[in-house]
Structure 1
């Protein structure tokens, strides 16, 4: 079981202030196999320059970590069009980093999968740059906390549309267990149907109500959380996306890496 630590687990302000490398080192000490780089946590646009991303990728590799490149960009515009520019930029930046996955939000998908266009972008990216191991970043879309890009119907529709186009498997899904709470959707109801498409899992639960919800660590005795994991593939990476205790970050991170690998 490969465990990833999402950079934001160490605190968004801390990552913006100190940079991703410092916290990737903490992820390595905790025993993680991978580290999720978050574009929105860059201190400035200079951090997204190809040379900066390549340098960070080399440093992560020297630590023995593989990476996920996460961007808040949306694959589909609010009016339902494929966002060619956002997709191309995300693929380029992920390639510079040498990421295993490139993760976008789904956005305004409304029924037309644009599978041929997505495939063309992926082929273009593969032809222009690859990771050191010869592979390219795997494209995954994540269920977000907003109705646009977080609706179960959108994900069912996306994968059904790709299958109709003969492009099943063109991209995968990041199943964020906690994000469904923002839409008052029970993840256990969705996990079995979406499981064939899930290639990466974001692990967290939510506390609070309405707009005051916030991510928290799953309780050790949370049977519903365990049931969701049991309904999803066990051979895909699990990412820790809940905040660690700032007073004992190293101990907390190591504890949850070990726990999540066993639960």
Structure 2
């Protein structure tokens, strides 16, 4: 199984000013196959996009791109920034780009025509279950991806985010069963209530409300996996990578 490290893992270092460019080598040293960079962490697109591409090429690393934006606007129209995001991805040489679905229920256009502007043959496009009522329900994701498949847009896939189901309240196993046919990427993190009753993301796959090793049995095996939760140091990251590797 291919393992990616999402840069949310290094949130404290990012806040201290470390660039995602500098994290590429670190991710490689930790033993992962690739890095998932987050758009909201960029400070200088002109230099960092190229820097990530060059660093990943040197280390033969996979690059995925997490974009915190929707495909469909509130009125159902296609987000006009999608092409820009794909162009950023091209500069990095990415494998996958991830969005939230948004308001597909209001869409009235032609999917084939509207998506023909995007380089879907070069870059795999994914949607993820987020923590919102619009894009974080199994039915919303299923409806969009079913329509995409009917339109022949088979290259659009799904990121199953385990931890986010805790925030939306849906059954993680039932969601896995429903969405497994579209899934080609899995984000692993665990969630639990803290002492104040707030739902939080933990720093340990084995700590939380989900038995992740059981749940992934309902999902495809030959897909990319990402660890996506903040961790304080490389020792803990290495421990979590070893824990993940017990499933290989």
Corresponding residue number in structure 2 for 1:204: 189
- What's the secondary structure of 1:18's corresponding residue? coil
Assess if the C-alpha contact under 8 Å between 1:7 and 1:38 holds in 2: yes
1:120 Cα deviation from its structure 2 partner: 0.6
Assess if the C-alpha contact under 8 Å between 1:4 and 1:240 holds in 2: yes
2:143 pairs with one of 157, 172, 177? 157
The whole-number CA distance in structure 2 between the counterparts of 1:87 and 1:211 is 37
Paired residues in the alignment total: 243
Unaligned runs of 5+ in 2: none
1:115 Cα deviation from its structure 2 partner: 2.2
Cα distance change, pair 114–150 in 1 and its aligned pair in 2 (3 A)? farther
Corresponding residue number in structure 2 for 1:68: 64
1:221 Cα deviation from its structure 2 partner: 9.8
- What's the secondary structure of 1:121's corresponding residue? coil
Corresponding residue number in structure 1 for 2:13: 14
TM-score by length of 2: 0.89
1:80 pairs with one of 76, 81, 84? 76
1:80 Cα deviation from its structure 2 partner: 2.1
Pairs within 5 Å for 1:113-192 = 114-122=110-118, 125=119, 136-165=122-151, 167-192=152-177
- What's the secondary structure of 2:191's corresponding residue? strand
Unaligned runs of 5+ in 1: 127-134
Assess if the C-alpha contact under 8 Å between 1:103 and 1:140 holds in 2: yes
The whole-number CA distance in structure 2 between the counterparts of 1:121 and 1:65 is 27
1:114 Cα deviation from its structure 2 partner: 4.2
- Larger relative helix fraction: 1
Pairs within 5 Å for 1:233-248 = 233-244=220-231, 246=232
TM-score by length of 1: 0.84
Give the superposed CA RMSD: 2.3
1:242 Cα deviation from its structure 2 partner: 1.4
Assess if the C-alpha contact under 8 Å between 1:111 and 1:154 holds in 2: no
1:163 Cα deviation from its structure 2 partner: 3.1
